[in-house]
Every structure is written in C-alpha cells, then in structure tokens.
Amino acid sequence: MRAFPYGKAAFMFVVLAFVSSGMLFKNAATSRAHRLPAGARKVTFWVFADTHYEAYKKSIPAFEAAHPGVKVDLQLVSNNGLAARLQNAFLADLDVPDMVEIEISSSGTFFRGPLKDIGFADLTERIHSTGLWDKMVHARFAPYTNRGHIFGLPHDVHPVQLAYRRDIAEQLGIDVNKIETWDDFIKVGHRITQLNKRYMIDLSDSGGDNLETCLFQRGGGYFDPDGKCILDNETAIKTMCWYVPLVAGPNRIGNSLGWGQVLTKAVEDGYTLFLFCPDWRSRSFEKDIPRVAGKMALMPLPAVQHGGARTSTWGGTMLGITKRCKEPDLAWALAMHLYLDKPQLAERFRQTSILPAMSEAWNQEAFHEKNAYYSGLALGDSYARLAPDVPFQYTSPFIGVAKAKLGSALVACVQEYSAHPDRDLEPFARAELKRCANDVRTLINRNPY
C-alpha cells in the first residue's frame, strides 16, 4: 500500500476495476456469440415495451429462418429516452434504426416540418396496396396519419371499459346492465357515494388522462384531422363542465387515486368501485391488485346518450419504418410477420391482454378464453365487441403541449368549482380552455410549416 500513492480508497477501486474487467472478459465470449456475422443483412428494431420485446424475441427466429442471411437486431429502449434519442438521431442523421415502435403520446412530435423531412417512411401506398387498410381498425391509423400520409402501423386498439368491484356493486344493488348512459351512471353514483368513505369512480382531478378519454368519447380531442387545435371547441367546453362536478364540489362521485399502493388499497377496501380500464390496464389490475381476483368484472363505458358508443380509447403504439432504412421491403416483411401473424397475436394477447389492431385475429381461441380475475368474463371478446366503436383521435407535433394545457385547464376549473360550486362553471371553463388553446396555437403559428 505504501508504494501506491493514492491511498486505501483508490486502491479499492483498482481492485474493483481488475475484478470487474475479469468478469466482463469472462462474459465476452457470450457477447461475441450474439454479434452479427460479417456480411449479414441487418434490420435494427427499437421497442420500448418489455412485453413487446419479450414477445418479438420469441417470434424473430422464425422470421430469420424464413429469410436466410438476415439478422434482426432487436433493442429494448426505455420509453423515456426513446423519443429524445430518436428525435436527435433524425435531426443529426445519426444512429437511426430501421424500424421503431413509438408510444402514441410522442408519435405526433415526429411529424414536424415539411413532409420530406419527416424521419419515417410514408406507408400509405403499402397499406392500401397490400389490403392492410381493410384488415385493421381504421380509427387506429388516425393518430399516425399526418397531412394525409400514414407513417405508422397501429399495434393495438385500446378500447376502454369500466372495471369494477362486482361483489360490492351487487351488495349495493347496482345492476350494471341497467346503466346505459353516463346519466344513469351518475345517478347511481350519487346514491352510493359517501364523501371520504366510498366513491363511485376513480377520476383524476389534476391530470388529463381520464378527461381525455371522456373527450374522445364525445368526439372531441386535441386536434382536428388538419392538425388545428380544438381544445376550446364546444365539445371540449361541455365535456369540461360535465367532468369537473364529478371530481370536485359537494356532489362529486369521483376521487383521484393515482397509481400504485393508494390505488390498490382503495380497490381492495372498496373505497372506489369503478375504474377506467383500457385493455392494457386490465392486466395491470390483475398484477397489482391480485387480492380481488374473482371479485372484479368489466362493463362497457356508459354512453354519452342512448345508442351512443360504449367505449373510448386510452394509449397506443405505432410501428414506423424510418427513411434511413436500407431495406424497407425487408423491414415491411418483418412488420407483417410481427403484426399480422394470428397465432403470434393470440399468444401476445395472453401475455398482455392487449387487443391487436388486426380485427381478423380476434377469432383466435385466446380472445374467447374466460378470465377468472374478471369473474369468468371472456376478456378478449368483451374488448373486441367495442373495438369498432373506438373513436378517432388526431395528433400533431404539439401534442405534448396540448396535453399539458388540458391538464392545467382541468386544475384551474377544479379549483374554481371547488371554491364556487354554485356558480356557473361554463364561462370560466370557456375562458380557460380558450387561453390554453391559444397558447398551443401560438406555438403552432411559430412553426413555418
């Protein structure tokens, strides 16, 4: 130790460096085995969802076997980093993958600028010429379409239902079959809600997720098909004025639970009875609240009016092929292999409960299987029945700002209504939404394209 001038601390790091290099060297053989053989045709594919990653990993060997000399370099990239990394890669023209899956809330940000500068290949022609357009739920192409061009294949549909505590609902004499509209639902809600003891539904009073779902169900949204901000149109104002009294004021029936431990406890204790439940969330409930297995059930979302759509949508993923892809035909073949292979889609549904966008796959056995957690309901069928009614939603490069603005408008309206429940909320909501929409428009107008 005397000969080492940096002392005990630094010496420890020398030892650590030696040990760790030894371990990495030992593992190097394994890594080399995974490297691509020289001269191989490679398709680099980024995904952000580990469930997709695991499913694709199983299915890619079959694709590689059918395409000798082709190697798929599947990479799992954290969703938080993916959008930034891809955006940078497009701008700097560096390290761009051949294919990539993007979450719906960030997909719009990639459609900025002139069409020729969008980093994704235009798939419109391929989608129509291969008949794919007719095989998939049309509404799901909308978020990935910009100026009439489709840049992404939809991975899913994400219809929304309500998950609820069946046992408690029955005890309280709630017949969900008689709940057809939101008016019916609210009426029951007023009957069974006891402030700070029991609430009818989990609704956020600070984030826009649930409000957005309700907005979509009413035919509203953030943008119209031309990318114009519609946050302050009559639908948005009416939805806001309808939603806020559900989560604020003396007659509220909703309570905001968030995620994780609080949500689990609230559902287990019967503190909250109904929850918004897109297909992907049905699996989250199974994993995070296992103690209520067999006591939960699903019902279609109440309609806005009699005969209206009994669903909405929440979340989504697109698959895009980048313009930098050297072999777009090969990438397309891989996309078809992953998104259209029925047995594979069925298996993925078993793992994730996510309904694929290709409607022809829904007749697979997996979609008819009864789910014990949801009191023996055929989970796939229940979502598939609603899928054709999933509303259209449109996006824009400014979707992130628009989402944040809707959230801030909701917070302002909740504060206003909590302070003055007797006042008419409409003028305030109108002004607040207009202010938010104008902020978004200001940003849009700064963009010369």
Partner 1 sequence: MNRDQKLSPGRIAAHILLFAMAVVVLTPLVWLVAATTKGKNDQFHYTFFAPTITAQNFLDLFKKTEVLQRNIWNSTFLASITVLVQLFFSSLAGFSLAKYEFKGKKPITILMLATLMIPGQLTMAPLFELLHRLGLVDTYLGLIIPGAVSVFGIFLFRQSISQVPDELLQAARMDGCSEFGIYWNVVMPVSRPMTGAFCLISFMGTWNSFLWPQIILHNRELFTLPIALSQMVGVYSQEYGMLMAGTLIAVLPVFILFLVLQKEFVAGLTAGAVKG
Segments of 25-167 assigned E as strands: 41-47, 70-76, 99-103, 145-146, 149-150, 153-154, 160-165
**Cβ nearer to partner 1, comparing 56 with 417:** 56
Characterise 227 by phi-psi region: left (phi > 0), alpha (psi -120 to 50), beta (else). Answer: left
Q: Tokens for 26?
A: 């030992």
Residues 156-185 that bind partner 1 (CB under 8 A): none
**Biggest CA-to-CA distance, the chain:** 86
CA distance 225 to 317: 19
6 counts as binding partner 1 under rule CB under 8 A: yes
CA distance 42 to 2: 53
Does residue 285 contact residue 296 with C-beta atoms inside 8 Å? Answer: yes
Query: For residue 322, what are the CA distances in angstroms to 64, 96, 430?
Result: 20, 8, 41
Q: Tokens for 337?
A: 């292999």
225 counts as binding partner 1 under rule CB under 8 A: no
End-to-end Cα, the chain, rounded Å: 66
User: How many CB atoms sit inside 10 A of residue 430's CB?
Assistant: 16
Query: What is the closest distance, in whole angstroms, from the C-beta atom of residue 92 to partner 1 in the complex?
Result: 6
**Cβ nearer to partner 1, comparing 291 with 306:** 291
Query: What is the closest distance, in whole angstroms, from the C-beta atom of residue 270 to partner 1 in the complex?
Result: 14
The region of 162-170, 215-223, 284-292, 303-311 touching partner 1 under the rule CB under 8 A is 284-292
Does residue 380 contact residue 369 with C-beta atoms inside 8 Å? Answer: yes
430 counts as binding partner 1 under rule CB under 8 A: no
Does residue 318 contact residue 47 with C-beta atoms inside 8 Å? Answer: no
Binding mask 375-414 vs partner 1 (x if CB under 8 A, - otherwise)? Answer: ----------------------------------------
The region of 18-26, 58-66, 183-191, 325-333 touching partner 1 under the rule CB under 8 A is 18-26
Candidates 76, 168, 336, 443; binder of partner 1 (CB under 8 A) is 76
The region of 20-28, 136-144, 320-328, 342-350 touching partner 1 under the rule CB under 8 A is 20-28
The region of 19-27, 119-127, 147-155, 179-187 touching partner 1 under the rule CB under 8 A is 19-27
Which of 51, 444, 439, 21 lies closest to 228 in space, CA to CA?
A: 444
37 counts as binding partner 1 under rule CB under 8 A: no
| AA identity, residue 39 | G
Does residue 140 contact residue 316 with C-beta atoms inside 8 Å? Answer: yes
Q: Tokens for 276?
A: 């918004």
CA distance 236 to 244: 12
Q: Tokens for 225?
A: 């098909």
261 counts as binding partner 1 under rule CB under 8 A: yes
**Cβ nearer to partner 1, comparing 244 with 357:** 357
Query: What is the closest distance, in whole angstroms, from the C-beta atom of residue 30 to partner 1 in the complex?
Result: 8
Binding mask 325-354 vs partner 1 (x if CB under 8 A, - otherwise)? Answer: ---------------------------x-x
Candidates 29, 38, 65, 94; binder of partner 1 (CB under 8 A) is 94
Total residues binding partner 1 (CB under 8 A): 54
17 counts as binding partner 1 under rule CB under 8 A: yes
CA distance 366 to 112: 39
103 counts as binding partner 1 under rule CB under 8 A: yes
The region of 142-150, 229-237, 282-290, 300-308 touching partner 1 under the rule CB under 8 A is 282-290
372 counts as binding partner 1 under rule CB under 8 A: no
| Structural element, H or E, at residue 163 | strand 160-165
Candidates 36, 58, 61, 95; binder of partner 1 (CB under 8 A) is 95
Does residue 182 contact residue 239 with C-beta atoms inside 8 Å? Answer: no
426 counts as binding partner 1 under rule CB under 8 A: no
**Cβ nearer to partner 1, comparing 249 with 315:** 315
Q: Tokens for 424?
A: 């008419």
| AA identity, residue 14 | V
66 counts as binding partner 1 under rule CB under 8 A: no
Residues that bind partner 1 (CB under 8 A): 5-10, 12-14, 16-17, 19-21, 23-24, 27, 31, 34, 48-51, 75-81, 85, 88, 92, 94-95, 103, 260-261, 263-265, 268, 280-281, 283-284, 287-291, 315, 352, 354
